Amino acid sequence: MKKQNQKDRQQHDRRLLDLQSLFELSKTLNSSLQQDVILDTLLFTPMGRMMIGRGAVLLNEDAKTCRIAAAKGLPQSVREHALLIEERFDAPAPMPAESDSPGLAFLYRHGLRLLCPIHSNKRQIGYLVLGEKITGAPFSPDELQYLEALANLASSSLENSRILAELRDVNRRLDKKIQQLNTLFEITRELNSTLDRDKIATTLSYAVMGEMMIRQLALAVREDEGQGELLTSKGFGRNSDFSFIDSETFWCLLDGAPQPTPVESLADDALRTTLSSMKVRLLVPLLNQEKVLACMIVGDRLSGTAFHDDDLELLATLGNSALVALENARLFRETLEKQRLEEELAIARDIQQRLLPAEPPDISGFDFSGLNIPHAQVGGDYYDFIRVNEKELVLTIGDVSGKGVPASLLMANLQASLHAMVHAKWPLTETVFRINNIIHANTSIDKFITFFLASLNVETRELTYVNAGHNPPMLFHKDGKMTELQEGGLILGMMSDVPYEQGTIPLQNGDLLVLFTDGVTEATNPAGEEFTEQGVIDVILRSGVSSAREAVERLRDAVLEFSGDAPRTDDITILTLLVT
Amino acid sequence: MNGFEVAQHNSEDGITILRLKGFLDAHTAGDLEAALQKCIDEKKFRIVVNFEELNYISSAGLGVFMGFIEDVRENGGDIKMTSMTEKIFHVFDLLGFPALYDILKTDDEAVERFAQTEKE
């Protein structure tokens, strides 16, 4: 009886100890959310209590596959080992020596003999597996009950720690996304604040390299005719050869597949070899309006990890925002350049207007007037009155072939030559001869000037002139008759050393001399018809003008009215002289 | 505009210490780039970067380190990082830098680490 009591008492004490240990265990488990601590507690508690030499905790990856999450008394190499377990266990059970499940066979081989399933909400989340007791004694029913209780206590802690780990993982991914967004935000702000192409390229490079731990990065922009320009290269060796960006093949290849392309999948053997040897891993074409305008040349990641889809997406997004900035910078530069050119042209126009006479000369017995309407900012028409001395006035009109700036340069050259020569007291033919040689020497064969030069003797009222291929000026007489002034020679600039003839004509009271450029006679109406010489004659004869200025204005109005809405394509210059 | 400063300090054992201060982002990355380029040009490949007074770093700032690490390591040197605040370390950690860069608590530890590699 006493013996029985003692035995009961011993059993009570042991149960009490079991309960105490479970209580302590539950405190430990509940106070920790770290999986490692929970697993260690779960293993060390029974191992110490029952003197077991080895044990492991398996956690389910899916219904049948488990991973060894913790192992004691076993080689550490078994950790993280994946095991396939087909069977289901509802309560602690001995490890079968023979099993179709490779997982159970593996555990048996490692000396593990007892299998305690861990359940949470009726779902199996893992196993506590243990080796034999060092004493070799079998597990008693009490001990099995204890282990079952232990496994159940641990389950909710394990579940909590798993959820926490997942939450941490989600948080980390979220943080990473936030970091990416920050990068995107920062780079966009930075890119929008600069028009410096180098700065744009550098900003892009460093943001991308930092974000993805990329060692090398270069940015090439496409130029005309298959050429490329390397804007930046970071981390590539100094001797790296980027000449491949200067090939039509390279850019056409990107046109054909305008998305991030791994180098190893490039079809072009030569290009693939070149890029691989430079450790380039990825080409990221950057597009604007579906046209490949630039390419990011992306090297290795320091971590060696592959580029995932979301990496490629981020690369393309960052790259394209840089491309927009580059495009803005280009447009801005072009606008600036255009503005500068326009300003220059305005100055040139001002200069050219000063080369033309500001006022007609005031000489009694004669009435002069002149007008020049340039078609563009600057033009190639020229007219002038030059008072040589008391009795001589030189008047001239000329038209340089072509238009715009080139024509205006030649016009200025003509003006300067003439002004230098008129005071030399040479005969007109000599002056024209020399000017022709200057113009010929200064121009290519397709540039020439039609030129009319006349000298008026204000005392004798005699007009001497040389016509070098210019539209013949018309001298209208009081009686309605008209004389064309044709004497002269070849247009200026065609050949050197060409002789010129001169004509002389006395002027009568009431004579009206009208000089003009082909902008007058070749002005077209909307139907495409030209104003013609006859048009000039009709206007002058019909109007019966009383002043030189009136003649100019009548002719100008007639031409402009004739042209109507038709686009004007040439300068208009008119010069008149009325003998009073 | 938030400022950024790099102070260079050459220690006796041929190690260059760069102290970063302020905001390191795309805007100021160029300053760090210049400082590191100067080290390379002067053939100083053993570099310690101290982050103690750095208030902010963006990916572009991290990118600068990427642009030089290859060159530095090929020349037998390294860039070791020290004294990061928790906030700064978080960014490095997120982008995976700790696996590939030595990130240490103090400059002394970094100098020590250089001495160790020297012995090996």
**Optimal mutation site among A213, A219, A321, interface B, most CBs of chain B within 10 A:** A213
Q: Which domains does chain A have, with CATH numbers?
A: 17-166 (3.30.450.40), 194-235+242-332 (3.30.450.40), 356-579 (3.60.40.10)
ipTM for the complex shown: 0.76
Chain A residues with beta carbon closer than 8 angstroms to that of B63:
205-211, 234
pLDDT tens across A61-78, in order?
Answer: 888 899 999 888 888 888
Q: What angle do CA A577, A549, A553 make, to 5 degrees?
A: 120
Is pLDDT above 70 for A203? yes
Amino acid B51: pLDDT? 96
Chain A residues with beta carbon closer than 8 angstroms to that of B97:
213
Interface membership of B60 toward A (CB under 8 Å): yes
Residue the block writes with tokens 């020290």? B82
Q: How confident is the model at residue B39 (pLDDT cuts 50, 70, 90)?
A: very high
HSE toward the beta carbon, residue A117, CA cutoff 13 A: 16
pLDDT tens across A77-103, in order?
Answer: 888 888 888 888 888 999 988 888 888
Average pLDDT over residues A192-202: 86
pLDDT tens across B76-89, in order?
Answer: 999 999 999 999 99
Amino acid B85: pLDDT? 94
Contact B67 A175 (CB under 8 A): no
The DSSP secondary-structure symbol of A449 reads: E
pLDDT tens across A409-419, in order?
Answer: 899 999 999 99
DSSP A176-210: HHHHHHHHHHHHHHHHHT---HHHHHHHHHHHHHH
Contact B100 A172 (CB under 8 A): no
State the average pLDDT for chain A.
89
Contact A203 B67 (CB under 8 A): no
pLDDT tens across A446-504, in order?
Answer: 889 999 999 999 999 999 999 999 999 999 998 889 999 999 999 999 999 999 999 99
Residue the block writes with tokens 């509802």? A90
Q: Calculate the alpha carbon distances from B32 to A196, B75, B92 in Å.
A: 19, 20, 16
Average pLDDT over residues A264-280: 89
Widest CA span in chain A:
170
Helix, coil or strand: residue A68:
strand
Is pLDDT above 90 for A18? no
| Of the partner residues B26, B66, B68, the one whose CB lies closest to the CB of residue A214 | B66
Q: What angle do CA A244, A247, A253 make, to 5 degrees?
A: 90
Is pLDDT above 90 for A239? no
| Of the partner residues B26, B69, B91, the one whose CB lies closest to the CB of residue A203 | B26
Domain ranges of chain B: 4-115
Contact A216 B30 (CB under 8 A): no
| Of the partner residues B59, B68, B97, the one whose CB lies closest to the CB of residue A207 | B59
**Cβ–Cβ under 8 Å, residues B85 and B48:** no
Burial of A525 (0-12, 13-18, 19+ CB in 10 A): middle
Q: How confident is the model at residue A1 (pLDDT cuts 50, 70, 90)?
A: low
Identify the closest residue of chain B to A237 by CA–CA distance.
Answer: B71
Which CATH architecture best describes the domain B4-115? 2-Layer Sandwich (3.30)
Amino acid A237: pLDDT? 77
Gyration radius of chain A's alpha carbons: 50
Chain A residues with beta carbon closer than 8 angstroms to that of B58:
182-183, 186, 207, 210
Helix (H) or strand (E) holding B47, with range, is: strand B46-57
Beta bridge partners of residue A82, listed in sequence order = A67
pLDDT tens across A504-562, in order?
Answer: 999 999 999 999 999 999 999 988 899 999 999 999 988 778 899 999 999 999 999 99
Question: Hey, what are A26's tokens?
Answer: 């539950």
